[in-house]
Protein backbone atom coordinates (compact mmCIF):
# COMPACT_ATOMS: atom_id res chain seq x y z
CA UNK A 1 0.00 0.00 0.00
CA UNK A 2 1.22 3.49 -0.75
CA UNK A 3 0.87 4.55 2.89
CA UNK A 4 4.01 2.48 3.53
CA UNK A 5 5.95 5.20 1.71
CA UNK A 6 4.80 7.93 4.11
CA UNK A 7 4.88 6.20 7.50
CA UNK A 8 8.06 5.85 9.61
CA UNK A 9 9.71 2.50 8.95
CA UNK A 10 9.70 1.73 12.67
CA UNK A 11 8.84 3.38 15.95
CA UNK A 12 11.30 6.04 17.07
CA UNK A 13 12.54 6.84 13.56
CA UNK A 14 11.72 9.79 11.31
CA UNK A 15 10.38 9.51 7.77
CA UNK A 16 11.36 12.25 5.29
CA UNK A 17 8.95 12.84 2.43
CA UNK A 18 9.68 14.93 -0.65
CA UNK A 19 6.81 16.04 -2.87
CA UNK A 20 8.07 17.39 -6.14
CA UNK A 21 7.06 17.81 -9.76
CA UNK A 22 6.41 20.39 -12.44
CA UNK A 23 4.77 23.50 -11.01
CA UNK A 24 0.99 23.61 -11.07
CA UNK A 25 0.42 19.84 -10.89
CA UNK A 26 -1.00 19.96 -7.36
CA UNK A 27 2.02 18.90 -5.31
CA UNK A 28 1.28 21.44 -2.57
CA UNK A 29 -2.25 20.07 -2.24
CA UNK A 30 -0.94 16.50 -2.08
CA UNK A 31 1.80 17.33 0.42
CA UNK A 32 -0.61 19.28 2.64
CA UNK A 33 -3.23 16.53 2.44
CA UNK A 34 -0.58 13.99 3.43
CA UNK A 35 0.51 16.18 6.35
CA UNK A 36 -3.06 16.59 7.60
CA UNK A 37 -3.72 12.85 7.27
CA UNK A 38 -0.52 11.90 9.13
CA UNK A 39 -1.18 14.42 11.91
CA UNK A 40 -4.71 13.05 12.21
CA UNK A 41 -3.25 9.58 12.71
CA UNK A 42 -1.23 10.86 15.65
CA UNK A 43 2.14 11.38 13.96
CA UNK A 44 3.96 14.56 14.92
CA UNK A 45 4.46 16.11 11.52
CA UNK A 46 6.52 19.01 10.13
CA UNK A 47 5.70 20.53 6.72
CA UNK A 48 8.49 22.55 5.09
CA UNK A 49 8.33 24.44 1.80
CA UNK A 50 11.48 25.46 -0.04
CA UNK A 51 9.46 26.99 -2.88
CA UNK A 52 10.49 30.65 -3.46
CA UNK A 53 6.78 31.31 -4.14
CA UNK A 54 5.19 29.51 -1.15
CA UNK A 55 1.46 29.06 -0.65
CA UNK A 56 1.14 27.12 2.62
CA UNK A 57 -0.30 30.21 4.33
CA UNK A 58 -3.05 30.33 1.70
CA UNK A 59 -3.82 26.63 2.00
CA UNK A 60 -4.05 26.63 5.82
CA UNK A 61 -5.63 30.07 6.12
CA UNK A 62 -3.09 31.41 8.63
CA UNK A 63 0.22 33.26 8.55
CA UNK A 64 3.16 30.85 8.60
CA UNK A 65 6.32 32.46 7.23
CA UNK A 66 9.94 31.80 8.13
CA UNK A 67 9.40 30.17 11.50
CA UNK A 68 8.05 26.89 12.77
CA UNK A 69 4.33 27.49 13.28
CA UNK A 70 1.71 25.23 14.81
CA UNK A 71 -1.27 24.75 12.47
CA UNK A 72 -4.18 25.94 14.58
CA UNK A 73 -6.84 23.51 13.41
CA UNK A 74 -4.66 20.40 13.12
CA UNK A 75 -3.05 19.05 16.30
CA UNK A 76 0.39 17.44 15.71
CA UNK A 77 1.05 19.56 12.61
CA UNK A 78 3.67 22.31 12.26
CA UNK A 79 4.82 24.18 9.15
CA UNK A 80 7.43 26.65 7.92
CA UNK A 81 7.90 28.61 4.67
CA UNK A 82 11.64 29.13 4.20
CA UNK A 83 12.22 32.79 3.31
CA UNK A 84 15.26 33.04 0.99
CA UNK A 85 16.35 36.49 2.22
CA UNK A 86 16.10 35.62 5.92
CA UNK A 87 17.75 32.23 5.37
CA UNK A 88 20.61 33.98 3.56
CA UNK A 89 21.19 36.40 6.45
CA UNK A 90 21.13 33.54 8.97
CA UNK A 91 23.54 31.56 6.81
CA UNK A 92 25.98 34.47 6.45
CA UNK A 93 26.03 34.94 10.20
CA UNK A 94 26.67 31.23 10.82
CA UNK A 95 29.42 31.21 8.20
CA UNK A 96 31.17 34.25 9.70
CA UNK A 97 30.86 33.12 13.35
CA UNK A 98 33.90 30.74 13.32
CA UNK A 99 36.25 33.53 12.18
CA UNK A 100 34.71 36.43 14.07
CA UNK A 101 37.22 37.54 16.69
CA UNK A 102 40.06 36.02 14.69
CA UNK A 103 40.02 38.28 11.67
CA UNK A 104 40.15 42.04 11.63
CA UNK A 105 36.98 44.03 10.94
CA UNK A 106 38.31 45.01 7.52
CA UNK A 107 38.82 41.36 6.59
CA UNK A 108 35.36 40.45 7.90
CA UNK A 109 33.83 43.23 5.83
CA UNK A 110 35.57 41.88 2.71
CA UNK A 111 34.19 38.38 3.36
CA UNK A 112 30.67 39.69 4.02
CA UNK A 113 30.82 41.66 0.77
CA UNK A 114 32.01 38.62 -1.13
CA UNK A 115 29.14 36.59 0.34
CA UNK A 116 26.66 38.77 -1.51
CA UNK A 117 27.26 36.33 -4.35
CA UNK A 118 24.23 35.10 -6.27
CA UNK A 119 24.50 31.49 -5.07
CA UNK A 120 24.33 32.19 -1.32
CA UNK A 121 20.52 32.18 -1.39
CA UNK A 122 20.39 28.62 -2.69
CA UNK A 123 23.14 27.44 -0.37
CA UNK A 124 21.28 29.05 2.53
CA UNK A 125 17.99 27.40 1.57
CA UNK A 126 19.68 24.00 1.47
CA UNK A 127 21.40 24.71 4.77
CA UNK A 128 18.07 25.66 6.37
CA UNK A 129 16.20 22.75 4.90
CA UNK A 130 18.62 20.12 6.24
CA UNK A 131 18.11 21.45 9.76
CA UNK A 132 14.89 19.46 9.68
CA UNK A 133 16.69 16.31 8.51
CA UNK A 134 18.63 16.22 11.73
CA UNK A 135 15.79 16.91 14.17
CA UNK A 136 14.48 13.81 16.00
CA UNK A 137 11.41 15.51 17.52
CA UNK A 138 9.18 14.82 14.46
CA UNK A 139 7.83 11.48 13.28
CA UNK A 140 7.52 12.72 9.71
CA UNK A 141 9.09 15.71 7.94
CA UNK A 142 7.44 16.64 4.63
CA UNK A 143 9.18 18.87 2.10
CA UNK A 144 6.88 20.64 -0.33
CA UNK A 145 9.69 21.43 -2.72
CA UNK A 146 10.14 24.12 -5.33
CA UNK A 147 9.38 23.35 -9.01
CA UNK A 148 11.50 20.51 -10.30
CA UNK A 149 14.39 22.24 -12.08
CA UNK A 150 15.07 24.48 -9.09
CA UNK A 151 14.79 21.56 -6.65
CA UNK A 152 17.29 19.45 -8.58
CA UNK A 153 19.74 22.35 -8.61
CA UNK A 154 19.29 22.71 -4.85
CA UNK A 155 20.04 19.02 -4.27
CA UNK A 156 23.03 18.95 -6.64
CA UNK A 157 24.68 22.06 -5.21
CA UNK A 158 26.61 20.52 -2.28
CA UNK A 159 28.31 17.99 -4.55
CA UNK A 160 30.27 20.84 -6.13
CA UNK A 161 31.62 22.26 -2.90
CA UNK A 162 34.66 20.03 -2.45
CA UNK A 163 36.94 22.19 -4.60
CA UNK A 164 35.72 25.34 -2.89
CA UNK A 165 36.34 23.87 0.55
CA UNK A 166 39.72 22.33 -0.20
CA UNK A 167 41.33 25.38 -1.71
CA UNK A 168 41.25 27.28 1.60
CA UNK A 169 40.75 30.97 2.28
CA UNK A 170 37.45 32.69 1.57
CA UNK A 171 34.93 31.65 -1.06
CA UNK A 172 31.82 33.32 -2.41
CA UNK A 173 29.78 31.05 -0.12
CA UNK A 174 31.78 31.74 2.99
CA UNK A 175 35.15 31.14 4.67
CA UNK A 176 36.47 27.65 3.93
CA UNK A 177 36.84 27.06 7.68
CA UNK A 178 33.09 27.26 8.20
CA UNK A 179 32.37 25.16 5.10
CA UNK A 180 34.78 22.48 6.25
CA UNK A 181 32.86 22.25 9.51
CA UNK A 182 29.55 21.94 7.64
CA UNK A 183 30.77 19.33 5.16
CA UNK A 184 29.89 16.32 7.32
CA UNK A 185 26.41 17.72 7.91
CA UNK A 186 25.78 18.02 4.18
CA UNK A 187 27.14 14.54 3.47
CA UNK A 188 24.84 13.12 6.15
CA UNK A 189 21.84 14.88 4.63
CA UNK A 190 22.61 13.51 1.17
CA UNK A 191 23.01 10.00 2.63
CA UNK A 192 19.50 10.34 4.12
CA UNK A 193 18.13 11.31 0.71
CA UNK A 194 19.61 8.12 -0.74
CA UNK A 195 18.26 5.84 2.02
CA UNK A 196 14.80 4.50 1.11
CA UNK A 197 14.20 3.34 4.69
CA UNK A 198 14.39 6.98 5.78
CA UNK A 199 13.31 8.99 2.72
CA UNK A 200 10.58 8.75 0.06
CA UNK A 201 10.36 10.86 -3.08
CA UNK A 202 6.83 11.42 -4.35
CA UNK A 203 6.39 13.03 -7.76
CA UNK A 204 3.09 14.59 -8.71
CA UNK A 205 2.38 14.91 -12.41
CA UNK A 206 -0.45 15.19 -14.90
CA UNK A 207 -1.21 12.94 -17.84
CA UNK A 208 0.28 15.50 -20.19
CA UNK A 209 3.34 15.37 -22.43
CA UNK A 210 5.33 18.19 -20.78
CA UNK A 211 4.68 16.88 -17.26
CA UNK A 212 5.82 13.39 -18.29
CA UNK A 213 8.98 14.78 -19.92
CA UNK A 214 9.89 16.73 -16.81
CA UNK A 215 9.27 13.75 -14.52
CA UNK A 216 11.51 11.58 -16.72
CA UNK A 217 14.25 14.22 -16.69
CA UNK A 218 14.02 14.50 -12.91
CA UNK A 219 14.15 10.73 -12.52
CA UNK A 220 17.38 10.67 -14.53
CA UNK A 221 18.98 13.55 -12.63
CA UNK A 222 17.95 12.20 -9.22
CA UNK A 223 19.19 8.76 -10.22
CA UNK A 224 22.62 10.25 -10.95
CA UNK A 225 22.61 11.39 -7.31
CA UNK A 226 21.68 7.90 -6.09
CA UNK A 227 18.09 8.97 -5.29
CA UNK A 228 15.03 6.99 -6.38
CA UNK A 229 11.46 8.15 -7.04
CA UNK A 230 9.20 5.94 -4.93
CA UNK A 231 5.69 7.01 -5.86
CA UNK A 232 3.93 8.85 -8.70
CA UNK A 233 0.59 10.60 -8.15
CA UNK A 234 -1.05 11.27 -11.51
CA UNK A 235 -3.33 14.17 -10.67
CA UNK A 236 -6.28 15.90 -12.34
CA UNK A 237 -7.56 12.98 -14.43
CA UNK A 238 -10.84 13.67 -16.24
CA UNK A 239 -13.56 11.30 -14.97
CA UNK A 240 -14.77 9.19 -17.89
CA UNK A 241 -18.43 9.55 -16.88
CA UNK A 242 -18.20 13.36 -17.27
CA UNK A 243 -16.61 13.27 -20.75
CA UNK A 244 -19.89 13.01 -22.66
CA UNK A 245 -19.33 15.22 -25.72
CA UNK A 246 -16.87 15.17 -28.62
CA UNK A 247 -14.55 17.77 -27.07
CA UNK A 248 -13.99 15.98 -23.77
CA UNK A 249 -14.09 12.52 -25.34
CA UNK A 250 -11.08 13.65 -27.34
CA UNK A 251 -9.43 14.92 -24.14
CA UNK A 252 -10.15 11.54 -22.53
CA UNK A 253 -8.54 9.61 -25.41
CA UNK A 254 -5.45 11.83 -25.17
CA UNK A 255 -5.36 11.33 -21.40
CA UNK A 256 -5.46 7.54 -21.71
CA UNK A 257 -2.70 7.71 -24.33
CA UNK A 258 -0.52 9.59 -21.86
CA UNK A 259 -1.46 7.20 -19.04
CA UNK A 260 -0.22 4.30 -21.20
CA UNK A 261 3.08 6.15 -21.65
CA UNK A 262 3.33 6.73 -17.89
CA UNK A 263 2.56 3.07 -17.11
CA UNK A 264 5.19 1.90 -19.59
CA UNK A 265 7.90 4.47 -18.85
CA UNK A 266 7.59 4.32 -15.05
CA UNK A 267 6.51 0.69 -14.65
CA UNK A 268 9.03 0.15 -11.84
CA UNK A 269 7.48 2.94 -9.72
CA UNK A 270 4.23 2.69 -7.74
CA UNK A 271 1.53 4.85 -9.36
CA UNK A 272 -1.70 6.34 -8.01
CA UNK A 273 -4.45 7.94 -10.12
CA UNK A 274 -6.19 10.97 -8.64
CA UNK A 275 -9.28 12.31 -10.43
CA UNK A 276 -10.06 15.91 -11.30
CA UNK A 277 -12.51 17.24 -8.74
CA UNK A 278 -15.62 19.30 -9.60
CA UNK A 279 -14.32 22.04 -7.29
CA UNK A 280 -11.08 23.28 -5.71
CA UNK A 281 -9.50 21.21 -2.98
CA UNK A 282 -9.17 23.73 -0.18
CA UNK A 283 -10.13 23.67 3.46
CA UNK A 284 -9.25 21.15 6.14
CA UNK A 285 -12.17 18.79 5.50
CA UNK A 286 -11.22 18.39 1.85
CA UNK A 287 -7.52 17.94 2.69
CA UNK A 288 -8.52 15.19 5.13
CA UNK A 289 -10.66 13.62 2.41
CA UNK A 290 -7.77 13.66 -0.07
CA UNK A 291 -5.47 12.02 2.50
CA UNK A 292 -8.06 9.32 3.25
CA UNK A 293 -8.46 8.59 -0.45
CA UNK A 294 -4.69 8.46 -1.07
CA UNK A 295 -3.74 6.29 1.88
CA UNK A 296 -6.92 4.42 2.83
CA UNK A 297 -8.72 4.23 -0.52
CA UNK A 298 -11.70 5.96 1.07
CA UNK A 299 -13.46 8.23 -1.45
CA UNK A 300 -16.63 8.88 0.57
CA UNK A 301 -15.74 12.47 1.58
CA UNK A 302 -14.40 13.64 -1.78
CA UNK A 303 -16.55 16.35 -3.41
CA UNK A 304 -19.16 15.33 -5.94
CA UNK A 305 -20.78 17.43 -8.66
CA UNK A 306 -24.10 15.76 -7.98
CA UNK A 307 -26.87 16.30 -10.51
CA UNK A 308 -27.64 19.98 -9.86
CA UNK A 309 -27.10 22.19 -12.91
CA UNK A 310 -25.85 25.76 -12.50
CA UNK A 311 -26.53 28.60 -14.88
CA UNK A 312 -23.54 30.53 -16.15
CA UNK A 313 -23.00 33.90 -14.49
CA UNK A 314 -22.42 35.43 -17.90
CA UNK A 315 -18.94 36.74 -17.04
CA UNK A 316 -16.54 36.24 -19.94
CA UNK A 317 -13.26 37.58 -21.25
CA UNK A 318 -13.71 39.40 -24.55
CA UNK A 319 -10.63 39.91 -26.72
CA UNK A 320 -9.85 43.62 -26.82
CA UNK A 321 -7.42 44.04 -29.70
CA UNK A 322 -7.23 47.81 -29.30
CA UNK A 323 -5.69 47.35 -25.84
CA UNK A 324 -3.76 44.09 -26.30
CA UNK A 325 -2.16 44.47 -29.74
CA UNK A 326 -0.13 47.59 -28.78
CA UNK A 327 1.40 45.57 -25.91
CA UNK A 328 2.85 43.05 -28.37
CA UNK A 329 4.26 45.24 -31.16
CA UNK A 330 7.12 47.77 -31.17
CA UNK A 331 5.95 51.24 -30.10
CA UNK A 332 6.42 54.21 -32.43
CA UNK A 333 10.10 55.07 -32.59
CA UNK A 334 11.21 51.77 -30.97
CA UNK A 335 13.04 48.98 -32.79
CA UNK A 336 11.98 46.09 -30.54
CA UNK A 337 9.15 45.05 -28.22
CA UNK A 338 10.14 42.74 -25.35
CA UNK A 339 7.30 40.54 -24.07
CA UNK A 340 7.82 38.52 -20.87
CA UNK A 341 5.51 35.64 -19.98
CA UNK A 342 5.84 34.48 -16.42
CA UNK A 343 3.72 32.86 -13.71
CA UNK A 344 3.33 29.84 -11.49
CA UNK A 345 4.77 26.71 -13.07
CA UNK A 346 2.29 24.48 -14.87
CA UNK A 347 -0.15 27.22 -15.92
CA UNK A 348 0.79 26.82 -19.58
CA UNK A 349 3.01 29.87 -19.98
CA UNK A 350 5.42 28.11 -22.37
CA UNK A 351 2.56 27.21 -24.70
CA UNK A 352 1.12 30.75 -24.42
CA UNK A 353 4.56 32.26 -25.13
CA UNK A 354 5.10 30.01 -28.18
CA UNK A 355 1.59 30.74 -29.49
CA UNK A 356 2.13 34.50 -29.11
CA UNK A 357 5.55 34.40 -30.76
CA UNK A 358 4.12 32.48 -33.72
CA UNK A 359 1.21 34.93 -33.97
CA UNK A 360 3.60 37.91 -34.13
CA UNK A 361 5.78 36.14 -36.70
CA UNK A 362 2.70 35.44 -38.85
CA UNK A 363 1.87 39.15 -38.70
CA UNK A 364 5.23 39.83 -40.36
CA UNK A 365 7.40 40.73 -37.35
CA UNK A 366 10.82 39.13 -37.11
CA UNK A 367 10.34 37.36 -33.79
CA UNK A 368 12.56 35.50 -31.32
CA UNK A 369 11.25 33.34 -28.49
CA UNK A 370 13.79 32.74 -25.75
CA UNK A 371 13.47 30.58 -22.65
CA UNK A 372 15.31 31.19 -19.40
CA UNK A 373 13.59 28.22 -17.74
CA UNK A 374 16.05 25.47 -16.69
CA UNK A 375 13.22 22.99 -17.33
CA UNK A 376 12.54 24.25 -20.86
CA UNK A 377 9.94 22.63 -23.11
CA UNK A 378 10.20 24.68 -26.30
CA UNK A 379 11.45 21.67 -28.26
CA UNK A 380 8.45 19.58 -27.24
CA UNK A 381 5.99 22.37 -28.09
CA UNK A 382 7.49 23.22 -31.49
CA UNK A 383 8.41 19.62 -32.27
CA UNK A 384 11.82 20.91 -33.41
CA UNK A 385 15.30 21.23 -31.98
CA UNK A 386 15.97 24.45 -30.02
CA UNK A 387 19.56 25.26 -29.09
CA UNK A 388 21.66 27.77 -27.20
CA UNK A 389 21.84 30.14 -30.17
CA UNK A 390 18.78 31.39 -32.08
CA UNK A 391 17.71 29.20 -34.96
CA UNK A 392 14.89 29.50 -37.47
CA UNK A 393 11.76 27.48 -36.73
CA UNK A 394 11.01 25.47 -39.86
CA UNK A 395 7.72 26.44 -41.45
CA UNK A 396 7.68 30.08 -40.33
CA UNK A 397 10.27 32.39 -41.94
CA UNK A 398 9.94 35.10 -39.27
CA UNK A 399 10.19 32.92 -36.15
CA UNK A 400 13.40 32.06 -34.28
CA UNK A 401 13.88 30.23 -30.98
CA UNK A 402 16.67 29.76 -28.43
CA UNK A 403 17.18 28.16 -25.01
CA UNK A 404 19.88 29.50 -22.70
CA UNK A 405 22.17 26.59 -21.86
CA UNK A 406 23.77 27.51 -18.54
CA UNK A 407 26.92 25.46 -19.11
CA UNK A 408 27.52 26.95 -22.55
CA UNK A 409 26.77 30.42 -21.18
CA UNK A 410 29.40 29.81 -18.49
CA UNK A 411 32.00 28.83 -21.10
CA UNK A 412 31.31 32.06 -23.00
CA UNK A 413 31.36 34.13 -19.81
CA UNK A 414 34.60 32.53 -18.63
CA UNK A 415 36.30 33.18 -21.95
CA UNK A 416 35.27 36.84 -21.98
CA UNK A 417 36.37 37.53 -18.40
CA UNK A 418 39.71 35.75 -18.79
CA UNK A 419 40.36 37.64 -22.02
CA UNK A 420 39.76 40.93 -20.16
CA UNK A 421 42.43 40.14 -17.52
CA UNK A 422 44.96 38.20 -19.62
CA UNK A 423 47.56 40.99 -19.39
CA UNK A 424 47.27 41.60 -15.63
CA UNK A 425 49.68 38.89 -14.44
CA UNK A 426 49.54 35.30 -13.21
CA UNK A 427 48.31 36.18 -9.72
CA UNK A 428 45.28 38.05 -11.02
CA UNK A 429 44.50 35.34 -13.60
CA UNK A 430 44.69 32.63 -10.91
CA UNK A 431 42.38 34.57 -8.63
CA UNK A 432 39.91 35.27 -11.44
CA UNK A 433 39.93 31.59 -12.44
CA UNK A 434 39.02 30.65 -8.86
CA UNK A 435 36.16 33.15 -8.94
CA UNK A 436 34.91 31.64 -12.19
CA UNK A 437 34.91 28.16 -10.67
CA UNK A 438 32.65 29.27 -7.83
CA UNK A 439 29.15 27.76 -7.60
CA UNK A 440 27.45 31.03 -8.55
CA UNK A 441 29.37 31.79 -11.73
CA UNK A 442 27.01 29.66 -13.86
CA UNK A 443 23.96 31.65 -12.80
CA UNK A 444 25.76 34.94 -13.37
CA UNK A 445 26.78 33.77 -16.84
CA UNK A 446 23.21 32.76 -17.71
CA UNK A 447 21.92 36.19 -16.71
CA UNK A 448 24.56 37.92 -18.79
CA UNK A 449 23.41 35.86 -21.79
CA UNK A 450 19.83 36.84 -20.97
CA UNK A 451 20.81 40.53 -20.89
CA UNK A 452 22.35 40.27 -24.35
CA UNK A 453 18.90 39.70 -25.86
CA UNK A 454 17.60 42.91 -24.27
CA UNK A 455 19.94 45.03 -26.36
CA UNK A 456 18.33 46.13 -29.67
CA UNK A 457 19.29 43.69 -32.38
CA UNK A 458 17.84 42.04 -35.47
CA UNK A 459 14.47 41.13 -33.92
CA UNK A 460 11.35 43.31 -33.82
CA UNK A 461 9.69 41.21 -31.11
CA UNK A 462 11.50 39.17 -28.44
CA UNK A 463 9.27 36.87 -26.38
CA UNK A 464 10.72 35.57 -23.09
CA UNK A 465 9.37 32.32 -21.68
CA UNK A 466 10.64 32.75 -18.12
CA UNK A 467 11.18 30.32 -15.28
CA UNK A 468 8.45 29.83 -12.62
CA UNK A 469 7.61 32.98 -10.71
CA UNK A 470 9.88 32.91 -7.64
CA UNK A 471 12.92 32.04 -9.75
CA UNK A 472 12.07 34.80 -12.26
CA UNK A 473 12.05 37.50 -9.59
CA UNK A 474 15.31 36.13 -8.21
CA UNK A 475 16.82 36.33 -11.71
CA UNK A 476 15.88 40.00 -12.02
CA UNK A 477 17.14 40.83 -8.52
CA UNK A 478 20.36 38.89 -9.05
CA UNK A 479 22.56 41.64 -10.49
CA UNK A 480 22.05 43.83 -7.42
CA UNK A 481 24.24 41.24 -5.69
CA UNK A 482 26.86 41.36 -8.43
CA UNK A 483 28.24 44.77 -7.57
CA UNK A 484 30.05 43.51 -4.48
CA UNK A 485 30.94 40.12 -5.89
CA UNK A 486 32.42 41.33 -9.18
CA UNK A 487 34.16 44.38 -7.77
CA UNK A 488 35.60 42.42 -4.86
CA UNK A 489 36.95 39.57 -6.98
CA UNK A 490 40.01 40.10 -9.11
CA UNK A 491 37.94 41.06 -12.14
CA UNK A 492 39.06 44.40 -13.49
CA UNK A 493 37.09 47.55 -12.82
CA UNK A 494 36.73 47.85 -16.57
CA UNK A 495 34.93 44.48 -16.74
CA UNK A 496 32.70 44.95 -13.71
CA UNK A 497 31.63 48.48 -14.65
CA UNK A 498 30.65 47.24 -18.09
CA UNK A 499 28.47 44.54 -16.56
CA UNK A 500 26.83 46.89 -14.08
CA UNK A 501 26.19 49.56 -16.71
CA UNK A 502 24.68 47.00 -19.05
CA UNK A 503 22.44 45.75 -16.27
CA UNK A 504 21.24 49.26 -15.46
CA UNK A 505 20.39 49.84 -19.13
CA UNK A 506 18.55 46.52 -19.40
CA UNK A 507 16.47 47.11 -16.28
CA UNK A 508 15.56 50.57 -17.61
CA UNK A 509 14.28 48.92 -20.78
CA UNK A 510 12.26 46.39 -18.78
CA UNK A 511 10.68 49.19 -16.75
CA UNK A 512 9.70 51.18 -19.84
CA UNK A 513 6.17 50.25 -21.02
CA UNK A 514 7.03 51.56 -24.49
CA UNK A 515 9.68 48.86 -24.77
CA UNK A 516 8.56 45.97 -22.57
CA UNK A 517 5.39 44.14 -21.54
CA UNK A 518 5.23 41.84 -18.54
CA UNK A 519 2.40 39.31 -18.78
CA UNK A 520 1.42 37.01 -15.91
CA UNK A 521 -0.16 33.72 -16.96
CA UNK A 522 -2.56 31.97 -14.59
CA UNK A 523 -5.63 29.82 -14.58
CA UNK A 524 -8.77 31.06 -12.83
CA UNK A 525 -8.32 29.54 -9.38
CA UNK A 526 -7.51 31.23 -6.10
CA UNK A 527 -3.91 30.10 -5.57
CA UNK A 528 -2.55 30.86 -9.07
CA UNK A 529 -4.27 34.28 -9.07
CA UNK A 530 -3.00 35.31 -5.64
CA UNK A 531 0.48 33.93 -6.29
CA UNK A 532 0.71 35.83 -9.59
CA UNK A 533 -0.53 39.01 -7.91
CA UNK A 534 2.09 38.73 -5.13
CA UNK A 535 4.80 38.17 -7.70
CA UNK A 536 3.63 41.16 -9.73
CA UNK A 537 3.70 43.29 -6.57
CA UNK A 538 7.22 42.05 -5.80
CA UNK A 539 8.35 42.97 -9.32
CA UNK A 540 6.87 46.43 -8.88
CA UNK A 541 8.35 47.09 -5.42
CA UNK A 542 11.72 45.39 -5.78
CA UNK A 543 12.57 45.94 -9.44
CA UNK A 544 10.22 48.77 -10.50
CA UNK A 545 8.53 46.68 -13.21
CA UNK A 546 4.76 46.98 -13.70
CA UNK A 547 2.54 44.22 -15.07
CA UNK A 548 0.99 45.18 -18.42
CA UNK A 549 -1.10 42.11 -19.31
CA UNK A 550 -2.84 39.26 -17.48
CA UNK A 551 -3.36 35.98 -19.33
CA UNK A 552 -6.15 33.66 -18.14
CA UNK A 553 -5.49 30.14 -19.41
CA UNK A 554 -7.49 26.89 -19.62
CA UNK A 555 -10.95 28.46 -19.77
CA UNK A 556 -13.54 25.71 -20.28
CA UNK A 557 -15.38 26.42 -23.55
CA UNK A 558 -19.06 27.29 -23.04
CA UNK A 559 -20.10 24.97 -25.84
CA UNK A 560 -18.40 21.91 -24.30
CA UNK A 561 -18.91 19.88 -21.14
CA UNK A 562 -22.71 20.18 -20.95
CA UNK A 563 -23.21 18.34 -17.65
CA UNK A 564 -23.17 18.92 -13.89
CA UNK A 565 -19.44 18.15 -13.49
CA UNK A 566 -18.18 20.72 -15.99
CA UNK A 567 -20.94 23.16 -15.00
CA UNK A 568 -19.35 23.09 -11.55
CA UNK A 569 -15.84 23.57 -12.95
CA UNK A 570 -16.99 26.41 -15.22
CA UNK A 571 -18.88 28.09 -12.40
CA UNK A 572 -15.73 27.92 -10.24
CA UNK A 573 -13.70 29.60 -13.00
CA UNK A 574 -16.28 32.37 -13.40
CA UNK A 575 -16.33 32.91 -9.65
CA UNK A 576 -12.67 33.97 -9.70
CA UNK A 577 -12.78 36.33 -12.68
CA UNK A 578 -13.85 39.33 -10.53
CA UNK A 579 -10.91 38.64 -8.17
CA UNK A 580 -8.60 38.45 -11.17
CA UNK A 581 -9.88 41.74 -12.56
CA UNK A 582 -9.49 43.35 -9.13
CA UNK A 583 -5.90 42.16 -8.67
CA UNK A 584 -4.90 42.89 -12.27
CA UNK A 585 -6.51 46.13 -13.51
CA UNK A 586 -4.86 45.62 -16.92
CA UNK A 587 -6.03 44.10 -20.22
CA UNK A 588 -6.99 40.42 -19.91
CA UNK A 589 -6.19 37.83 -22.58
CA UNK A 590 -8.35 34.70 -22.39
CA UNK A 591 -6.99 31.33 -23.58
CA UNK A 592 -9.53 28.52 -24.04
CA UNK A 593 -8.86 24.93 -23.06
CA UNK A 594 -7.77 23.15 -26.26
CA UNK A 595 -9.20 19.72 -27.10
CA UNK A 596 -5.64 18.34 -27.09
CA UNK A 597 -2.19 19.54 -26.06
CA UNK A 598 -0.99 22.03 -28.72
CA UNK A 599 2.14 20.71 -30.41
CA UNK A 600 3.76 21.99 -33.57
CA UNK A 601 3.08 25.09 -35.66
CA UNK A 602 -0.31 23.90 -36.94
CA UNK A 603 -1.75 23.48 -33.44
CA UNK A 604 -0.21 26.72 -32.17
CA UNK A 605 -1.57 28.64 -35.16
CA UNK A 606 -5.07 27.20 -34.61
CA UNK A 607 -4.98 28.17 -30.94
CA UNK A 608 -3.68 31.63 -31.88
CA UNK A 609 -6.60 32.18 -34.25
CA UNK A 610 -9.04 31.39 -31.43
CA UNK A 611 -7.25 33.66 -28.97
CA UNK A 612 -6.45 36.64 -31.19
CA UNK A 613 -9.66 36.36 -33.25
CA UNK A 614 -7.79 36.31 -36.56
Kindly list the structural domains of the chain, giving each domain's residue range(s) and its CATH number in brackets, ordered by start: 12-296 (3.40.50.300), 347-409+442-612 (3.40.50.300)
The predicted structure's pLDDT at residue 495: 44
pLDDT for 106 equals: 76
Measured between its terminal Cα atoms, the distance across the chain in Å is: 52
Burial class (CB in 10 A: 0-12, 13-18, 19+), 167: exposed
Residue 520: enclosing H or E segment and its boundaries? strand 516-522
516 vs 337, 399, 485, 563, CA distance in Å?
A: 6, 19, 29, 42
* C-alpha to C-alpha distance for 544 and 476, rounded to whole angstroms: 11
Closest CA to 36 of 301, 346, 344: 301
User: Global pTM?
Assistant: 0.84
Q: Which residues of the chain have pLDDT under 70?
A: 52-53, 113-114, 116-119, 122, 146-183, 305-315, 373-376, 435, 438-440, 443, 467-502
Distance, in Å, from the CA atom of 54 to the CA atom of 32, rounded to the nearest integer, reads 12
Are 596 and 590 within 8 A, CB to CB?
Answer: no
- What is the model's pLDDT at position 464? 92
pLDDT of the residue at 83:
83
Measured distance CA(265)–CA(494) in Å, rounded: 52
Model confidence pLDDT, tens digit, residues 307-335: 556 666 555 788 899 999 999 999 999 99
Q: Where are the alpha helices (DSSP H) in 468-597?
A: 469-477, 482-488, 493-511, 526-538, 564-583
Q: Closest Cα partner for 239 from 302, 148, 321, 309? A: 302
**Residue 541 buriedness (CB in 10 A; 0-12 / 13-18 / 19+):** exposed
Residue 392 backbone dihedrals phi, psi, to 5 degrees = -70, 135
Please give the pLDDT value at position 271.
96
Q: Which residues pair with 400 in a beta bridge?
A: 368, 392
Residue 559: Cβ-neighbour burial (10 angstroms; 0-12, 13-18, 19+)? exposed
Amino acid sequence: MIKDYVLPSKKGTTRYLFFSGKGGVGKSTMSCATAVWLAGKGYKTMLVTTDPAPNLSDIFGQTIGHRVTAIEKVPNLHAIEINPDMASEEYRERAIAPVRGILEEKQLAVIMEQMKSPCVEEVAAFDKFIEFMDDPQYDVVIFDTAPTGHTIRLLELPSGWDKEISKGGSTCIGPSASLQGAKLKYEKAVSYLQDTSKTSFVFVLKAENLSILETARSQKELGALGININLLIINGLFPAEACTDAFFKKKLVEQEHHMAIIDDQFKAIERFRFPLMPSELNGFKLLEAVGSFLYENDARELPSAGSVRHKSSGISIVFDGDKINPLLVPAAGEKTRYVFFTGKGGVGKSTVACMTALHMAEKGFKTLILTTDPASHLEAIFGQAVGHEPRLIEGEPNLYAARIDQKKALDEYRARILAAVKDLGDEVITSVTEDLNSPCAEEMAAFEKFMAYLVPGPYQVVVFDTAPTGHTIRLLELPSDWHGYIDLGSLTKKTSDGTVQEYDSVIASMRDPKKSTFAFVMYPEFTPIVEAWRASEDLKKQVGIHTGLAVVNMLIPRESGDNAFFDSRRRQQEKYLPLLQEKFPVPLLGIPLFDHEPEGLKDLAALGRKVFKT
